Amino acid sequence: MSKQWQIAHKHDGYYKRAKAEGYRSRAAFKLKQINNKFKIFRPGDIVLDLGAAPGGWSQAALEMVGTSGLVIGIDLEHINPLENAIFLEGDITDNGVVDLINEHTKGSEIQVVISDAAPNISGNYGLDQARSVYLAETALDLAKKVLKPNGNFVVKVFEGVDFKEFLDHVKISFKTYKRFSPQASRTRSSEIYVIGLGFIKMFKYTL
């Protein structure tokens, strides 16, 4: 990250709010704005947070599912603990990740899958966008394996040449799909959030 970006980041209003309100990242406000618009979460939901570090989305999700809910977060990096959250170190592209998740859900169904994962930025937008879509497709594939019928899905993706194809994949798996740019997203950002509402479980996945 450039020094210019770091300076702008520290002067960002949502960054300051996150620090003041105890959130681990400004991204928490993005998820709250998404939920205000689309009602993703219900009290008591089990939520799977993919690419969860440093835990900002998990914090926001915990607020919305309440003490009767649970958040399971997965990332390659270590995440400091949160009450009512289980953080796992794992790779969402690994075939064994579903078994890892199932060990902690103990047969309970997951109502919401969220992913704010982003690739390491190379500076080559075409490459970064392709990697972003790959992560989003991976999150969608995993969601289709673990979501209960009528569950919800939220994922970040960078817009580009293969964005429409990804939208088509979401469209056939959910009763409703939306694209949304939260107010907390930076003005110059090409990120967009894709929301799938009402998961359609067409067949049972086998590992």
Show which residues are catalytic: 156
> Please, what's the b/e burial string for 45-68 (b: 16 or more CB within 10 A of its CB; e: otherwise)?
bbbbbbbbbbbbbbbbbbebbeee
> Tokens 């075939």 belong to which residue?
95
- Backbone phi and psi for residue 74, each to the nearest 5 degrees, phi listed first: -130, 135
Q: Using CA atoms in the order 172, 176, 182, 188, what is the torsion angle rounded to 10 degrees?
A: 40
Would you give the DSSP letter of residue 10?
A: H
